[in-house]
Amino acid sequence: MSNIVVMGECMVEFGKAEQANLYKKSFAGDVFNTGVYIKRCIENQANVSFLSVVGDDEISDQMITLMHDEDIDSRFLYRSTQDKMGLYLINVDNKGERSFTYWRETSAAKKLMHFIEKDGGIDKLNGIDTLFFSGISIAILPPEDLFTFWQYVAQLKSAGTHIVFDPNYRPALWPNEEAARSAFNIAFSLANVALPGVDDHIALYKARNAEDVADLLEEIGVDEVVIKNGSQGILVSENGQRSYLKVEPVKEVIDTTSAGDAFNGGYLSARLMKKSVTESALFAANVAKCVIQHKGAIVDKKAFAEYLINHPM
């Protein structure tokens, strides 16, 4: 059985409830969402673990209960006695586009490198098949911890772990564009697979289109690139060979909160099941379509399972 580790932050999410002026509590985070969708798509065909830090309070207990309900392994989840989980409010407009307000300055996940080093270093992760992390995963780490993180990733890659990176650029989390580009360039240089969106590269690399993104990542040396470009479809590059995939747009978008996370989960689950890059990208698009037709980052489990019956891998 394959072992995949998703590394990053899970936060307490408050989204508008049906009743006026009320918010509904849930839990979400980009790589955490991806881990949930990987597990839902392939169930017992792979083991999915979440590498992060949460608090030792009741809300953190509730998040861990959710992990167990989703069959996400918590063996790499650390608990802090000092810091708690971050929190955010989400508002969605009538076109399904979202905006966020965050409280994450003292998020326990920022201390991940401290807990790993205290636990004996990255050797605990030796033997995992895949490590997936995002631009948010590294943006929340203190600058002095990033150097250690790159050493860990390089060590894992040299030992045979497949490295997957989604830039998921959030300007507010970086001191400036130069710092983000520098970190992303290192991440891309270590990645076997990159899952970027065109919008992030327009903002950070001044890309004009998906082809510019592919040019950059092929030059860096990423073997497998899947570029998400909204209604314009998907550009995939496998060892420099490019393909363009059309995606049928969704007629009614409810909430785009976790579209990219769901796409990543669908893609990685299909690749774990030995599907081709093209087959995996098309399946990923279908998974994302399901998610954006529901409220919240993590769709109701029953509704998701029913959708997969009609849109199988």
- Residue 163 contacts residue 190 (beta carbons within 8 Å): yes
Active-site residue flag, 261: yes
For residue 192, the SS3 value is coil
Strand ranges (E), the chain: 2-7, 11-16, 23-28, 46-55, 77-80, 87-92, 98-103, 130-134, 162-166, 193-194, 224-228, 234-238, 241-245
φ, ψ (nearest 5 deg) of residue 256: -90, 10
Please identify which residue in the block is written with the tokens 């059985």: 1
Phi-psi region of 240 (alpha: psi -120 to 50; beta: other; left: phi over 0): left
- Provide the residue count of the chain: 313
Burial class (CB in 10 A: 0-12, 13-18, 19+), 213: buried
Tokens of 59: 């809300």
From the candidates 166, 200, 255, 261, give the one annotated as an active-site residue: 261
- Active site positions, annotated: 261
